[in-house]
Structure 1
Amino acid sequence: MNENNVEYLKKTLENLGFGTKLNEVLETAIRREMPTFSLGIRTQMRPAESKDLGSERTENLNFKINFNRSKDSDMYFLNDYQVTLTKKNDPTVREQTFDLARDHRITALQAYKLLSGLALEKEVFLKTNTGEMEQGNPQPQKTPVWLKLNLDVTDAYGNHPLRVFRPEYDYDLVKTLAKFPIKDIESPDKLQNVLNTLRAGNYYHTDLMIGKKAVPVSIAANPQMKTLDIYDKNMNEIRHETIFPEQFNAKSTKSEQAITNNAKHEQALPWEQEPAQQTDRKRGR
């Protein structure tokens, strides 16, 4: 048994958030020189939207971690793991296989957040482009990107596509927050706390001014639409037209006026009837 390899695998499991519970069964499998094997671990989580840290753990997570042995040596590799999420009172079972290299070494906790429908920001290594190599920088650099699973579809492998929003997509969370009348962004310290919470793939619970009333809400980052997802205390979505009725009323009035003007313009046009086609003309052969 390659002791250095085993220690590296143990460290990898710990860094991914699986702790040390699997260490003993990992060593046993490697001692038996199994060509491939899978280890399992399960845990329970509080719902992602829960405000109470003491609330019941109702989210069931099962992990199947896959290992294989090199064909040319006694080295073992952890290539991917499968996670299954079962939520209370939800018949839909959510599954995903995360490849460590392809999917930017998603941790167990990050996998849970992504399967819960949340987006998160993570610093990852992106492939170096040709321009960077020409400038003498051949090494890949860590870049903050937003990640989110498309839970509406599955690909040919049964996985939900992992969307990656790079900096050039221009999702600016600070500017996005500034658009909403949110209570907890008055000071730099409070703003930083909100940013850290959302970037980690969590809901942030705060108050939102709707009209003249402060309404308790939960907010989450939505990088794809470059906005925030906002929910009431029952986790029902609060649409933007509810928060900004003046803006939507103005848009609606402008749209209605444009339709009216187009209708008047069409009535005023001197439309002419097309001449009837001649029916006695011989057809060409």
Structure 2
Amino acid sequence: MDDELNIDPRETDYLDHIDMYQAINFYELRTQLADLGFNEDLLLNELRSMVTANTEKLLHDIYIQQGGADFALSFKKEKNSGYQLYCIDASMDIPGKVNNQVMQYFQPDVPVSTATELLRLSLFVRNDHDPFMPLNLQESQAYIHLLKTNHVMNDQNLSYLQKQLLNLGFGEKVNDELEKNIKSGKKEFTLATEQEYNKQSVDYTLHYKAGDQNDMYFFNKYDASLRDKDMQQTFYLNKGSGITAKEAYNLMEGRAVHKQLENLEGEKYNAWIIIDKENKTENGNFKLRPFTDGWNYKPERAIDKLDIVGINEEGARDKLMKSLEKGNRHQVTAMKDGKEVKLYLEANPAEHRVNLTNWKGEAQQLEHYKKPELKAENKKDQKQAQAQEDAQAKKQSRKRGAKMSV
């Protein structure tokens, strides 16, 4: 007959004690759930009990774990047609967080595999969809595609920000916290870290903020403070680059740093900069004082006069210059009266010189550490200058004597 059900009698033998409507309802639900990927024996037992129970209860939920997710299958009893699956509530625990889950409601056409894939992606990607608005299969697949795209973007964003931290000298200390905050979907957040230079501790607070479209995070500035001194300063980044963590320490210590800067028109220029501790901006930050190329400060003029041990070795001079440009207090060994002396050099653009100090921090004169040939030239120049001065004095003396004899 055309209306005869295509049911294998062997599959319904255990339902002989109930009516045919319940048998059909059970078979249809079991087939539907199996097609969706729900095929646990526990589920079938629960399903059989629900269908065969002579109760006036119109709504019934069956709970089951499958594919690493928790499911609540919601059924509604319809008049003359038995129970119908009308909603699937799926949730998944967030690793490392107690009593915290991602969840989503689905319509009855969404299989287990699709639901669990969407939940797993939601663990790693900010999910702005209302979880209480049930998704059908087509909507779920479209949303999975979106989450996968966002997941790739998040990974790229995270990788970029982690490389930025390395380039700025903050290392990998905050990588895990950075990843957690990006996944959380916060509009903005801060990360705390610290570094130690020359046995001095510096505390940093890194500021991150999501873009206008909430698709990418940006590292725009950080606060730095010397723990043992009352000195704090905020350093702003431009397109992911700027003052490094070590350079920030050097600037706060009073030294100069050489950087490539950009003006309001986007034009790039090079300048030595120092923190101007006599002037502040409106937000309380110390101003940065630049010395551009027009200032004509070239520390190599002083460096090339010093009798530095090993300075002619390959790369030694460049290494020294780069260290000074980063604002470091660079140690060298120089010759003084035939003896080796440890010196510390610092760039000083404001006074057009290089600061020289010994290991005690006492200021030293460049003249005492000049190359031998320059010392000889200097003595020759001094003798010539003295001779000219003596000759001028004798000339003046003869003029006075001539006037007196008149």
Q: TM-score, normalised by structure 1?
A: 0.64
What secondary structure sits across from 1:224 in the alignment?
A: helix
Work out the CA distance in 2 between the residues paired with 1:151 and 1:18. Answer: 25
Q: CA separation of 1:224/1:33 partners in 2, compared to 1, >3 Å: closer, same or farther?
A: same
1:16 alignment counterpart: 168
2:343 alignment counterpart: 217
Work out the CA distance in 2 between the residues paired with 1:193 and 1:9. Answer: 28
Report the aligned-residue RMSD.
3.6
Q: Which has the higher contact order (CA 8 A, sep 6+)?
A: 1
Is the 1:42–1:63 Cα contact (8 Å) retained in structure 2?
A: yes
More moved, 21-30 vs 187-196? 187-196
Aligned residues: 223
Offset at residue 6 of structure 1 (A): 2.8
Is the 2:220–2:240 Cα contact (8 Å) retained in structure 1?
A: no
Alignment of 1:43 with 2:195, yes or no, is yes
Q: CA separation of 1:25/1:206 partners in 2, compared to 1, >3 Å: closer, same or farther?
A: closer
Give the number of the structure whose alpha-carbon radius of gyration is greater.
2
What secondary structure sits across from 1:5 in the alignment?
A: helix
* 2:358 paired residue among 202, 215, 232: 232
- Structure 2, gaps ≥5 residues long: 1-124, 126-149, 371-378, 390-406
Alignment of 1:174 with 2:277, yes or no, is no
1:183 alignment counterpart: 308
* 1:115 paired residue among 237, 248, 252: 252
Offset at residue 193 of structure 1 (A): 4.0
Alignment of 1:95 with 2:232, yes or no, is yes
Is the 2:333–2:340 Cα contact (8 Å) retained in structure 1?
A: yes
Is the 1:65–1:81 Cα contact (8 Å) retained in structure 2?
A: yes
Q: CA separation of 1:102/1:240 partners in 2, compared to 1, >3 Å: closer, same or farther?
A: farther
Work out the CA distance in 2 between the residues paired with 1:204 and 1:157. Answer: 33
Q: TM-score, normalised by structure 2?
A: 0.47
Work out the CA distance in 1 between the residues paired with 2:173 and 2:327. Answer: 26
Alignment of 1:206 with 2:343, yes or no, is no
1:71 alignment counterpart: 212
Offset at residue 161 of structure 1 (A): 1.7
- Structure 1, gaps ≥5 residues long: 48-57, 130-138, 255-285
Q: Given residue 126 of structure 1, which amino acid in structure 2 is its aligned partner? A: E
1:216-237 per-residue CA deviation (whole Å, 9 max, x = no partner) reads: 4312110121101121221123
Q: Given residue 183 of structure 1, which amino acid in structure 2 is its aligned partner? A: I
1:222-274 per-residue CA deviation (whole Å, 9 max, x = no partner) reads: 01211011212211233679999x99xx9xxx9xxxxxxxxxxxxxxxxxxxx
Is the 2:202–2:226 Cα contact (8 Å) retained in structure 1?
A: yes
Is the 2:164–2:240 Cα contact (8 Å) retained in structure 1?
A: no
Which protein has the bigger helix share? 2
